[in-house]
Amino acid sequence: MATDVKEAIAKNPIEILGRLVDASNATLFGILEETEINVIYKPISGERPLWDFEEGSLAGREVAAYLTSEFMNFNLVPFTTLREGPFGLGMVQHWIDVDDSFEIIEFSQSNDQRLRSMALFDAIINNTDRKIGHLLPSKDGEIFGCDHGVTFHVEDKLRTVLWQWRGHTFSEEETAQLKRFIDEFQNWSDLIAELLTDEEKEITRQRVLELLDSGTFPFPSEDWPAIPWPPV
């Protein structure tokens, strides 16, 4: 994405055009003033409290997921930043115009390499809510993921519709990605800065070490539902 687009998303005033009513938290659709750039804005003030995540932390987790995707060269999350908006500080993310002709449900259960990368990414960030509807096929043929507010928990809470690689051995490239994360952990920790707690950062490092030790994609837990509900 061009630097000027990122700068606009980070700084330009947001005009709210509507709300995504199916979202559990306040999720607002808008356009950046003086541009034709659409964004999603999730103000912290509109976050619904959750029993297992610190109140007011979801927006920061969304930004942490984006930064992790970029740091590990997954490039799976639209540009996301934490900034002020019409209703206060919140997460602002570049809107993806999806390809409506895409058969997303059938695709979500395929062995497409783009989904395999998403599955590995979710295992690293401990995504508790990878639904089919959180997969965004762009008109340019890319696959993005959204809604990463419930990630990076210190307990193993991986829930996803992408279990088709469970137990599969990591490729050399995937292993190299994981090793690079460990080797450059401090750089990642500095990049994430105050978005996550020190404990959450350290548990993420341990999670990646466990993935490297197993050499395979994780299996679903037997202690709780492995697929979020509803899955779409």
Strand-by-strand arrangement of the 28-32 sheet = 14-19, 28-32, 38-43, 88-94, 80-85
Instruction: Identify which of 14, 174, 173, 180 has the alpha carbon closest to the alpha carbon of residue 84.
Output: 14
H-helix or E-strand spanning residue 6: helix 3-11
Calpha distance 158→221 (Å, rounded)? 8
pLDDT at 22 (0 to 100): 83
The reported pLDDT for the residue numbered 179 is 98
pLDDT for 1 equals 72
Ranges of the chain with pLDDT below 70: none
- For residue 38 the two structure tokens come to 């659409």
Residues 6+ apart with CB under 8 A from 189: 201
Q: SS3 of 148, please? A: coil
pLDDT at 86: 97
Give the Cα separation of 135 and 228 in Å (integer). 14
Q: Say what the pLDDT of residue 111 is.
A: 97
Which pLDDT score is estimated for 21? 84
Q: What's the rounded Cα separation, in Å, for the pair 165 and 117?
A: 10
153, 117 Cβ separation under 8 angstroms = no
